[in-house]
Amino acid sequence: MLDKIETELKLKIMYILTIVVAGIIGLMMLIIPDSMISLLSLPDQDPYFFGFAGAI
């Protein structure tokens, strides 16, 4: 099924999905950092660094 889709379209879909997923995770890191830390099982960090990472 994926063989019939053009390579350019596949790349566009992959880029869009990457932007959407990274954007959602970044926003969640900025809005609800405590929940994201527990959800991703991350160790305790400096909250400023975590906010900076979420903003990027």
Structure tokens at 51: 């906010």
Task: Return the pLDDT at 1.
Answer: 62
- Strand, coil or helix: 46: coil
Task: Return the pLDDT at 17.
Answer: 97
Task: Return the pLDDT at 18.
Answer: 95
Which residue blocks in 1-56 are alpha helix, DSSP H? Answer: 7-31, 33-39, 47-55
Residue with tokens 């970044």: 26
Give residue-wise pLDDT tens across range 37-50.
888 787 777 677 77
- Rounded average pLDDT over 3-32: 89
- Rounded average pLDDT over 13-22: 95
Cα angle for residues 28, 32, 33 (degrees, 5° grid): 90
Task: Return the pLDDT at 29.
Answer: 82
